[in-house]
Structure 1
Amino acid sequence: MMSIKKVVLAYSGGLDTSAIVPWLKDNYNCEVIAFVANVGQGDEELEGVEQKAINSGASSCYVVDLREELLKEVIYPTLKTGAVYEGQYLLGTSMARPVIARAQVNLALELGADALCHGCTGKGNDQVRFEAAFAALAPQLKVIAPWREWNFTSRQSLLDYLAEKNVPTTASATKIYSRDANLWHISHEGGELEDPWCEPTEQVWMWTKSPEQAPDKATYIELSFAQGELSHIDGKEVDPITAIAQLNAVGSENGVGRIDIVENRLVGMKSRGCYETPGGTLLMAAIKGLEALVYDRASLKYREQVGLEFAQLVYDGRWFTPLKDSLLASATSLAQELTGDVVLKLYKGNVTVAKRRSPNSLYSEAFATFEDDDVYDQKDAAGFIRLFSLASRIKALHQQQKG
């Protein structure tokens, strides 16, 4: 074992981290400080968490509110890139990790700790995300990953250990699903989801109504953006935290934001998960609707390429890198034109753009109309097509000459 005096543990109050606290004291003979990130996971998960950490053996517990930081510094900038992982996933878990890791590092440096600890398993993506951030921000701090060290192999073995140490817990031996929630989304893994041939039952979903149970009447909502950032909902100015809560509520009521995906993990294996991102689904649909109005073809193609690269970067935990800064600078520059209003139509799980307008719109009814106009001479298209297809024409002539 490494020589450790003081360690800051990313603590959730769940079974794993409750067991990690006494395990660290037993195996490293060190002081354990619990760090809890409030990323909007809900009052139920945060209620009594400080006392729970102390009861587990931590010397102290710090709860840090990171909700606004998560929205302003990660989620809204990522939206400008159009990042979607493997065509579906809006990166809810991935986007929270940089702000959590940075706050954990800052606390460790402030308290003079010499190590950091997380409860991520050796099979998942999060171990990479956290430790890549630790390496970029404070490489001098040691990192402890108990799931890669201890001999516990089941929930029951962890419960037995807590009982041995007289650490109270409300956890039980049976836990159907593994979930992760923040103000942007909630994820679900385990249970019947481990078989991709099994359809998710309704007990999987926690935020959203099923499309079948959603209202029979469409809901309309207007989102206004200033340079790619949400500024108003239905004409009323909103702060970031209130905005996402409002969008989550209206999206959930209409069955919007559910996905069921088999994704490629960074560590090489595939995993099946269900995600609920109702507010994020609305924001992404609105931004893409505005992009179609404002970006020319070359700009939109470039933004799509940036989005693909940025989604991979966020998923892989490479937030604190020069590449992130470069890609984000490109997307932010393009988004200077993303000002305008979009009306979304929500109906039984579907989201469509009903209306859109922008002072920077490149759409011209005068040019696009099928009626008479005096701005576009259709005869001009003949020369354009001849030049556009010139390479194909030359190739065909060569083939004819060859017989």
Structure 2
Amino acid sequence: MAKEKIVLAYSGGLDTSIILKWLKETYDAEIIAFTADIGQKDELDGLEAKALATGASKVYIDDLRDEFAKDFIYPMFQAGAQYEGQYLLGTSIARPLIAKRMVEIARAEGATAIAHGATGKGNDQVRFELAAAALAPEIAVIAPWRLPEFREEFPGRAEMIAFAEKHGIPVTASAAKPYSTDRNLLHISYESGVLEDPWFDASDAESKGMYLLSVDPEDAPDQAEMIELEFAQGDVVAINGKELSPLEVMEQLNELGGKHGIGRVDMVENRFVGMKSRGVYETPGGAILFAAHRKMESLTLDREVMNLRDSLITRYSTLVYNGFWFAPERLALQALVTESQRNVSGTVRLKLYKGNVIAAGVKSPVSLYNPEIATMEADPTQAYDQGDATGFIRLNALRLKVNSGVEQNQK
């Protein structure tokens, strides 16, 4: 009789290495390890051999970088998403893509369940499982860290390391890296360990070795660098006149931003599960893209459309952060965002300097800015009669005068 198959989201780290072996023994199942290449670089080296040596019956390492950039990062940046005013959602936006591919593999392989190594205290468990519920409700989800028998066997990292040694599982776990990281095409996040103390200064000299994507702004070049980004319907399609794919745009912007120390964020955020957590993020390319997109919109987006879209940014960002990427409300919001971006096209010029993205010019063939109307000199178009402002102000002041009269009568 064929064994049950389980697809495991596998990173090759201590947790998922232990979980792979534990699932195989506990469920007497075939474990199919899946790793999404979403820009982790050398973190993928040797993963297939390691997974097979740990007990996986099959390994998928799928290059999803193009899809990640085009279908996840770009639509999210069109929406101006930024969680709690700082976080550009680098980890959050990767999880629905990983879950999507996991259920595709599960269906192709005839697996009855998927599994992940997210802890019971974090956001990722919610993101993986909400995405799976939306895409494949018939497939079960196994979350070992929420199972009492797993936590009883592995109350701490010492027990996990001992288990790895017993079963000949190669792992790297030491105090040399006293924090956890998550890397993809959009960012790197750092959390836990020494960073759990919000008073710990993650910007000082002792922490400089932590950052992988960017130089310290203080060490960035003393000469500013000018770049031009060309937009078409809300998306960057060229840098300095060279047409690029979304993936190539993100890679080049990461390089430029990292060179100039752009995109570092240190914040205490509110997790969906109810607690606050401290996270440090490097998002060099995303920070440039966010600033450039906003600048492009300032010239081409209608005021009321911008106000409407902006009123939904908090809602949209929270949906992404909490794992509702495939929910009908996010899809509905995305349709509005897509419509709003029809004329967000043109060129933005930026100056990159020591951690700063400085606006240095914007132009568009569909600009809504008319200098002849906006000028403080004589208006040759006569589209705006300054005398009309008298009635405009009077009508808008009416309710304020009425309210003031009521307040005065109550004194």
TM-score bracket relative to the smaller structure:
over 0.9
State the 4+ residue runs in structure 1 displaced beyond 6 angstroms.
Answer: none
**SS at the partner of 1:396?**
helix
| 1:27 Cα offset (Å) | 1.1
Alignment partners' CA distance in 2, 1:86 and 1:398: 38
Instruction: Assess if the C-alpha contact under 8 Å between 1:179 and 1:188 holds in 2.
Output: yes
| 1:256 Cα offset (Å) | 0.4
| 1:147 Cα offset (Å) | 1.1
Look up the match of 2:47: 49
Q: Which runs of 5+ in 2 are unaligned?
A: none
Look up the match of 2:102: 104
Deviations, residues 193-243 of structure 1 (Å, cap 9, x unaligned): 111111102123211111100111111110001001111100110112211
Instruction: Assess if the C-alpha contact under 8 Å between 1:40 and 1:67 holds in 2.
Output: yes
Instruction: Assess if the C-alpha contact under 8 Å between 1:129 and 1:317 holds in 2.
Output: yes
Alignment partners' CA distance in 1, 2:410 and 2:132: 64
178, 182, 185: which one aligns with 1:183: 185
Instruction: Assess if the C-alpha contact under 8 Å between 2:123 and 2:272 holds in 1.
Output: yes
Q: Does 1:237 align with 2:243?
A: yes
Instruction: Assess if the C-alpha contact under 8 Å between 2:117 and 2:145 holds in 1.
Output: yes
Alignment partners' CA distance in 1, 2:296 and 2:23: 51
338, 353, 359: which one aligns with 2:359: 353
| 1:4 Cα offset (Å) | 7.4
Alignment partners' CA distance in 2, 1:398 and 1:322: 46
Deviations, residues 24-54 of structure 1 (Å, cap 9, x unaligned): 1221111111011111111x21111100001
* Alignment size in residue pairs: 400
**SS at the partner of 2:23?**
helix
Look up the match of 1:28: 27
Alignment partners' CA distance in 2, 1:344 and 1:268: 39
**SS at the partner of 2:342?**
helix
Look up the match of 1:91: 89
Q: Which amino acid aligns with 2:131?
A: A
Instruction: Assess if the C-alpha contact under 8 Å between 1:184 and 1:279 holds in 2.
Output: yes
Q: Which amino acid aligns with 2:48?
A: E
Alignment partners' CA distance in 1, 2:293 and 2:318: 20
Q: Percent identity?
A: 51
| 1:317 Cα offset (Å) | 0.4
Alignment partners' CA distance in 2, 1:60 and 1:89: 36
Instruction: Assess if the C-alpha contact under 8 Å between 1:5 and 1:113 holds in 2.
Output: yes
Look up the match of 1:8: 7
| 1:171 Cα offset (Å) | 3.5
| 1:132 Cα offset (Å) | 0.7
Look up the match of 1:72: 70
Look up the match of 2:156: 154
Q: Does 1:212 align with 2:211?
A: no
Q: Does 1:379 align with 2:387?
A: yes
| 1:394 Cα offset (Å) | 2.5
Q: Which amino acid aligns with 1:386?
A: R
Instruction: Assess if the C-alpha contact under 8 Å between 1:34 and 1:58 holds in 2.
Output: yes
Q: Which runs of 5+ in 1 are unaligned?
A: none
Instruction: Assess if the C-alpha contact under 8 Å between 1:4 and 1:114 holds in 2.
Output: no
Alignment partners' CA distance in 2, 1:204 and 1:359: 44
Q: Which amino acid aligns with 1:350?
A: N
**SS at the partner of 2:341?**
helix
120, 129, 142: which one aligns with 1:144: 142
Alignment partners' CA distance in 1, 2:114 and 2:50: 20
Q: TM (normalized to structure 2)?
A: 0.94
Instruction: Assess if the C-alpha contact under 8 Å between 2:18 and 2:164 holds in 1.
Output: yes
Q: TM (normalized to structure 1)?
A: 0.96
- Please, what is the CA RMSD of the aligned residues? 1.6
Deviations, residues 339-366 of structure 1 (Å, cap 9, x unaligned): 1100011111011211001122111111
**SS at the partner of 1:336?**
coil
| 1:83 Cα offset (Å) | 0.6
Instruction: Assess if the C-alpha contact under 8 Å between 1:7 and 1:32 holds in 2.
Output: yes
Instruction: Assess if the C-alpha contact under 8 Å between 1:83 and 1:308 holds in 2.
Output: yes
| 1:167 Cα offset (Å) | 2.1
Q: Which amino acid aligns with 2:402?
A: I
Q: Which amino acid aligns with 2:119?
A: T
Q: Does 1:309 align with 2:311?
A: no
310, 316, 319: which one aligns with 2:325: 319
